[in-house]
Amino acid sequence: MEKKKYPRLVLYILSALCISQGFAGSVAKVKRIEGKVSILKKGAANWRDARVNMPVNVGDEIYSREESFAELVYTTGAVIRLDEKTKVTIDEVTAKGTKSSTPIGNIWANMRKLTMSKKEFELSSPTATAAIRGTVFHMNTKEDSSTDISVYEGKVAVGPTKGKKKPAQPKGRHEIQGPTEIPGPYEVTLDQWRMIVAGQMISVNKEGKYSEKKFDAEKAAQDDFVKKNQELDRSFEKDLEERLENIEKNKKDEKE
């Protein structure tokens, strides 16, 4: 018998209920650890080992060390995963959403569940900021602060990190540019926000100049970090479907 497929709306609602349990006032929780992952709590002098289900708050910094991997789940439903040698800090939480930053490393961000909560998530590197709601993207920040942002699902507003503020939600079609392909080599300075859609990548160098191009999603999926995250995303959605099936089964058993 063919397995029942649940509407994504139902999965969003269930995932929000599952994620909201047990946060007890924290902004996020460490949900997965492989290898050695450290946390520097706000105001603390020393790093200490992170543990699964450890709460994370504003000002805390997470560091996934060599040959390590970490998953962080926010109360809003945002999920980010850190590759080895990757740092991320939770900078700010407001009624509109959450702002985090990364000075270096590989981060996979899955914000599909934010579509229902209408919360926004911002992730900044030293040279670029990605502001999104309901999308999947990959940010790679290198040692020289240059940043690549690849969009796998939905769309991402990308703008400068320093000296600029994200404009209010657009009231017209032209308040945020794009998407158009800007060829290299980095001839344009990223001084305005641009909209990047699925299948596009924007690269911002250390001077703040950028280029855009399309990328081959199938080829990119051969990368170990990308492949692992896509598998985890599929596994998470499958788990939600199984939970729904169990809920329906229990209801049916109660009636009988």
Nearest to 238 by CA among 2, 4, 1: 4
| Cα–Cα distance for residue pair 6/4, rounded to 1 Å | 6
Q: What is the pLDDT of residue 235?
A: 83
Q: What is the pLDDT along the chain (256 residues), one digit of tens a residue?
A: 455 555 554 444 444 444 444 445 689 999 999 999 999 999 999 999 999 999 999 999 999 999 999 999 988 878 999 999 999 999 998 878 899 999 999 999 998 765 555 678 999 999 999 998 778 999 999 999 999 999 999 999 999 997 544 433 333 333 445 556 666 677 789 988 999 999 999 999 999 999 999 999 889 889 999 999 999 988 877 765 665 566 566 666 566 5
| Cα 120 from Cα 95, distance rounded (Å) | 9
**209 falls within a domain:** yes
Q: 3-state class of 38 per DSSP?
A: strand
CA distance 176 to 129: 14
Contact 252, 244 (CB under 8 A): no
Q: Which amino acid is at 8?
A: R
CB 141, CB 119: distance < 8 Å: no
Domain count, the chain: 1
> Does any domain span residue 2?
no
For 223, list phi and psi in degrees, rounded to 5. -65, 135
Q: Which residues contact 175 (CB under 8 A, 6 or more apart)?
A: 167
Q: Tokens 């740092």 belong to which residue?
A: 87
Task: Assess if residue 3 is contained within a domain.
Answer: no
Stretch (H or E) spanning 189: strand 188-189
For residue 177, the 8-state DSSP code is B
CA torsion 165-166-172-176 (nearest 10°) is 100
Q: Residue 153: which CATH number?
A: 2.60.120.1440
**What pLDDT does 165 receive?**
46
pLDDT of residue 78: 85
Quote the pLDDT of residue 246.
61
The pLDDT value recorded for residue 218 is: 87
> What are the helix and strand counts (H, E) for the chain?
4, 19
Q: 128 near 159, Cβ under 8 Å?
A: yes
Q: What's the CA gap between 254 and 22, in Å, rounded?
A: 27
State the pLDDT at residue 134. Answer: 73
Q: How far apart are CA 207 and CA 199, in angstroms?
A: 25
Distance from C-alpha of 71 to C-alpha of 62, rounded to nearest angstrom: 10
Query: Is the residue at 1 inside a domain?
Result: no
Output the pLDDT for position 175: 43
Range of the domain at 170: 8-255
For residue 185, the model assigns a pLDDT of 72
Residue/partner pairs of 234-240 with CB below 8 Å, 24 or more apart: 236/15, 236/79, 237/11, 240/6, 240/11, 240/14, 240/15, 240/18
Do strands 200-204 and 147-153 pair parallel, antiparallel, or not at all (unpaired)?
antiparallel
Q: Return the pLDDT at 105.
A: 97
